[in-house]
Amino acid sequence: MSYKAINWSGVFPAVSTQIKKDFSVDLEATHKVMENLINDGVSGLVVNGTVGENTSLTLEERKSIVEVAVDAAKGKVPVLSGVAELTTAKAKEMTHAARQAGADGVMIMPPLVYSPTVRETVAYFRDISASTDLPIMLYNNPLVYKNDVTPEVLTTMADCENIVAFKDSSGNTRPFIDIPNEVGDRFILFAGLDDVVVECVAVGAAGWISGMSNAFPREGETLFRLAKQGRFAEAMELYHWFMPLLHLDFRPDLVQCIKLCEEMVGRGSSITRPPRLPLEGKVLAEVKAVVEKALANRPQLPDVGL
């Protein structure tokens, strides 16, 4: 495989996993969610991520979700699977399962629960990289995983040919400058936090792993393309409308918020698998109000080639 030919770019929603009332996975509904996203022009799919409730799923469920995504995509867009595990062995097992299911790549999070040293983090990523021929996106989210995959850490793995991309959810735009300064275009850089996407694109992000694009895919892809095309006046107008929604991606109950948005716009169900519980009371009312205000003022989108 020529890893240099990989050209992931654009908006890849972190797709939600649809859950039935008995808390089993609804593969048919999940397939429909993915089909609708592709029909609305998204550039890729990331399944089994945080929004996909990865850590609440079994290995077989995760593998089935990859299979469903591959079927829904039909080669039109790349499908990446999240890998979020406690041990190196389990991460290799999930990576192998994703490959068997037909994924185009994997997005690997640092080891969960245990906070490794830099040496251990690098060894973890290197071991998984050596175990597969799948293209790999590394995922940095220090606020959640208490592990900062800094540009200095990332660039030590430039010799791992199949580590091709990097998703940064630190909220810090410096990596989008510092990484190319160190290793040129060696890694494809993706924005990871919804509410700093325009800033990240302005300094070089080629793509966006987006939570809120599950509910508003055309707005997400339009915002990204406006920023990428340097049409910042139009982008900022849309960004101002979008921002209260995008802020919902940056909170502990982001999965419930995003799935509630999906339900309110008729794109999916708000049901999550425990330990995640439904929003209620004041929080539910506040989130609903944000969505209702956005829907009441939904903008006419400029032409970006969708």
Place of tokens 């091709």: 164
CA angle 183-189-192, nearest 5°?
A: 140
What's the mean pLDDT in 81-103?
Answer: 98
Those residues whose C-beta lies under 8 Å from the C-beta of residue 129, and which sit 6 or more positions away, are 136, 157, 160, 162, 163
DSSP secondary-structure letter at 145? H
CA distances from 141 to 74, 146, 166, 197 (A): 30, 8, 11, 15
Percent of the chain with pLDDT over 70: 100
* Homologous superfamily of the 3-231 domain (CATH): Aldolase class I (3.20.20.70)
H, E, C per residue of 268-294? CCCCCCCCCCCCCHHHHHHHHHHHHHH
Helix (H) or strand (E) holding 47: strand 45-47
Q: Is 20 helix (H, G, I), strand (E, B) or coil?
A: coil
Residue 238: its pLDDT value, please? 98
Cα–Cα dist 158/185, whole Å: 11
Cα–Cα dist 197/210, whole Å: 9
Per-residue pLDDT tens over the stretch 168-207: 999 999 999 999 999 999 999 999 999 999 999 999 999 9
Residue 143: its pLDDT value, please? 79
**Average model confidence (pLDDT) across the chain:** 96
DSSP secondary-structure letter at 183? H
Task: For residue 192, give the amino acid letter.
Answer: G
Cα–Cα dist 208/226, whole Å: 13
Which residue from 41, 97, 112 is spatially nearest to 67, judged by alpha carbons? Answer: 97
Structure token digits, residue 75: 């080669």
Residue 26: its pLDDT value, please? 98
Per-residue pLDDT tens over the stretch 43-82: 999 999 999 999 999 999 999 999 999 999 999 999 999 9
Cα–Cα dist 124/103, whole Å: 21
Helices (H), 167-280: 175-183, 197-202, 217-228, 232-246, 254-264
Using an 8 Å Cβ cutoff, are 306 and 41 in contact? yes
Task: For residue 98, give the amino acid letter.
Answer: A
What's the mean pLDDT in 89-93?
Answer: 98
Res. 1: pLDDT tops 80? no
DSSP secondary-structure letter at 173? -
**Residue 219 backbone dihedrals phi, psi, to 5 degrees:** -65, -40
Per-residue pLDDT tens over the stretch 105-162: 999 999 998 889 999 999 999 999 999 999 999 999 887 777 888 899 999 999 999 9
Q: Is 14 helix (H, G, I), strand (E, B) or coil?
A: strand
What's the mean pLDDT in 226-248?
Answer: 98
What's the mean pLDDT in 246-266?
Answer: 97
H, E, C per residue of 122-143? HHHHHHHHHCCCCCEEEEECHH
Residue 137: its pLDDT value, please? 98
Q: Binning pLDDT at 50, 70 and 90, where does residue 281 land?
A: very high
Model pTM score = 0.95
What's the mean pLDDT in 243-262?
Answer: 97
Place of tokens 């609708």: 36
What's the mean pLDDT in 245-258?
Answer: 96
Is-cis flag, bond preceding 175, omega within 30? Answer: no
